[in-house]
Structure formats: structure tokens, C-alpha cells
Amino acid sequence: MIAGFDVGGTNARCLLIETDSGRVIDRERSSSEGSGVELRDRLTGIVRELERRNQTTVDAVGLGVAGLAHRSGVVRYSPNLPGLVEYPLGTEMQAALGVPVAVMNDATAGAWAEAKLGAGRGSDDFAFVALGTGIGTGFVCGGRLLTGANGFAGETGHMVVEANGPEHITGQRGPWEYFASGSALGRMGREAAEGGVFRAGTGLAGSIQAITGVHVVAALRAGDGEAAVILDEFCRAVALGLTNLVVIFDPERIVIGGGLTEIGKPLQEGTQHWLNKLLLGAKHRPAVDVVMAELGDEAGALGAALISQQQA
């Protein structure tokens, strides 16, 4: 058996997985808050509990972490997991469990899961783009996962697309994440409501200021036409960043994951439409397919487990 964790800003999710089949045998969740030592003990306890409950042993553990996770097992930077920064979580868990522990970025892990078991199957060159509160990405190039020199590859949300644009929470001006994340969708909803349209959003949220991406998504699902206009603008912003990834990587496929996949077909079709329209030289290259991820919110934990197995 192998175990994979997805360690987000609030919660950690763990999957117990059968080594050969990739089948999920059991699941567990916990808070991810607190210090590095607390997290080590909590995650180690989860592995022990899953072993006990399923009468099995875990041979390798993978951790997908929201942040700059150095391949040595140390999280170097993570706004969402301040207690983990500079704590050698990988080696500490390895010492506690007595099995290899691999640490990586959560979107990198998600890309690998989609490559092996999801919407990336059959493709040696694709980009995984997780649209959630922020943007996470992972790349499969020539059948291999892009990790970078330190394990920091795929921080594409920070790619600047509008150098004189608005200032993001990172301090950068105009990064892709500012325009094309779940947070951006919420801002677009508020801006529309301030402009006198998108009453559905105000109704759902209670006030203009309370509108988030969740309300835009809810209005979309209820068939609200103004939400559809907002989504079109949003898909254009997503696609603009994708054009950069296409000219750089030449993928044959883009796999969209993350919480916003809840929107479903309108997100997929809108993004595909704008990608075809904005991509330079689109008529000179085979179409790049935009598809939806297949593994939902378990992709990160699944991929972390699969990668731990390869490195063990």
C-alpha cells in the first residue's frame, strides 16, 4: 500500500492506495493547521490509523503541499501553511514512519494523477491547470513530470500577463492568477453587481460585497444570463494564460482541474472558444483540446502517492 496526502491551507486529506492498481482503499481527513511538528504528528497518526484499520502496511508516503515544496522535503514558502515553512516535514515524517516520504507541490502531484489515471491518459504532453482560490499548474512533457531544479516548477499563477495591470496580493502587477482564479471570478461578480447588473449574485450573497466565485457559479447553474456574460469574460482571461502555455510547451491537451470545474461544460467550452481565438498561429498547429479533469479533488493526494511509489 501507498499513502498520499494533499495538504491544503485548512485541511489535509489522505488516501490509502493499492500499489499496483492505484485503487483507493480508504480515506482520512484532518486539519492542516498548527506548527510543523504538530502536522508531522497528525499526518503520521493518520498513516498509522489507516494501516490499523485496513490491516496493512504502507511502503511509501507522498505529500502534495500548497506552496514552494523543495525536493529535499522542506516547504520553502507557503502563504497558506505558515507553520510548515522551513520545517523539514519530509525527513521528519520519514524518520517517524520508517518509509520513504516524497514532498512536492500539490498541483504537480495532481498533474501526475491525471496523467496516470485521469484526463491526461494517453498524452505525453499536456498541461494541468487547477482553477481554485488561486491557480496551480503541473506539466507533463515527453511523458515525464516537470519538477524543475528545486521542485518549484508550475507556479504559473504568478506568470505576469498584464505588466501594468492591477496589484495582486502577491505584490506583483497583473499576474494570471489575478484575472483567472476563483477569487477573480468573485471580483468580476462584484464589479458586475456594482455596475447595476448581476442582481442574481447580490440576491444569492445578500449584498454586493459578499459576492464570491461561489455565488457566480450558483447563478450560472441557475441559468442566469448575466452570470454567463461574466463567465465568458472569465474564460477569456483563463485562455489568455493558456495561450502563453501553448506557445511555451506545445501541449496537445489542457486539463482543467480545481474547484471551478464544478461549472462544467460552460467553463470547458468557453475556455476552448477563447483559446482557439487568441492563440497565435492557431491555424498552423493541431488544435489544443481543453478537457475537464477526471479525478476531482482527490487528484493531489492520488498523485502524491503515485510519485512516492516511483521514488521509493
What are residue 123's phi and psi, to 5 degrees?
-120, 130
Could you say whether residue 146 binds a copy of itself (CB under 8 A)?
yes
Residue number, 144 or 221, with CB nearest to a copy of itself:
144
b/e map 50-68, b = 16+ CB within 10 Å:
bbeeeeeebebbbbbbbbb
Query: Which residues within the stretch 210-269 sit at the binding site for a copy of itself (CB under 8 A)?
Result: 240, 243-245, 247-252
Could you say whether residue 194 binds a copy of itself (CB under 8 A)?
no
Choose the binding region for a copy of itself from 121-129, 206-214, 216-224, 256-264 (rule: CB under 8 A): 121-129
Choose the binding region for a copy of itself from 31-39, 135-143, 181-189, 200-208 (rule: CB under 8 A): 135-143
Residue number, 17 or 245, with CB nearest to a copy of itself:
245
Query: Which residues within the stretch 32-71 sit at the binding site for a copy of itself (CB under 8 A)?
Result: 68
* Residue 160, Cβ density class (10 Å: 0-12 exposed, 13-18 middle, ≥19 buried): middle
What is the Cα–Cα distance from 57 to 48, expressed in whole angstroms?
Answer: 9
Could you say whether residue 311 binds a copy of itself (CB under 8 A)?
no
Could you say whether residue 122 binds a copy of itself (CB under 8 A)?
no
Could you say whether residue 174 binds a copy of itself (CB under 8 A)?
yes
Could you say whether residue 185 binds a copy of itself (CB under 8 A)?
no
Could you say whether residue 291 binds a copy of itself (CB under 8 A)?
no
Q: Cell digits for 92?
A: 521528519
Choose the binding region for a copy of itself from 2-10, 166-174, 181-189, 302-310 (rule: CB under 8 A): 166-174
What is the Cα–Cα distance from 34 to 161, expressed in whole angstroms?
Answer: 35
Could you say whether residue 170 binds a copy of itself (CB under 8 A)?
yes
Residue 19: CB minimum distance to a copy of itself, A? 24
What is the Cα–Cα distance from 67 to 269, expressed in whole angstroms?
Answer: 30
What are residue 264's phi and psi, to 5 degrees?
75, -140
Assess contact for 97 and 90: CB atoms under 8 A.
no
Could you say whether residue 155 binds a copy of itself (CB under 8 A)?
yes
Residue number, 140 or 306, with CB nearest to a copy of itself:
140
Phi-psi region of 84 (alpha: psi -120 to 50; beta: other; left: phi over 0): alpha
Candidate residues 98, 171, 196, 223; the one interacting with a copy of itself per rule CB under 8 A: 171
Could you say whether residue 124 binds a copy of itself (CB under 8 A)?
yes
Residue 258: CB minimum distance to a copy of itself, A? 18
Assess contact for 233 and 270: CB atoms under 8 A.
no
Q: Among 306, 257, 261, which Cα is nearest to 23's?
A: 306
Residue 212 Cα distances to 59, 73, 171, 236, angstroms: 42, 34, 21, 19
Residue 239: CB minimum distance to a copy of itself, A? 11
Candidate residues 98, 142, 195, 196; the one interacting with a copy of itself per rule CB under 8 A: 142
Residue 27: CB minimum distance to a copy of itself, A? 31
What is the Cα–Cα distance from 98 to 296, expressed in whole angstroms?
Answer: 31
Could you say whether residue 144 binds a copy of itself (CB under 8 A)?
yes
Q: Cell digits for 295?
A: 479525478
Choose the binding region for a copy of itself from 57-65, 139-147, 184-192, 261-269 (rule: CB under 8 A): 139-147
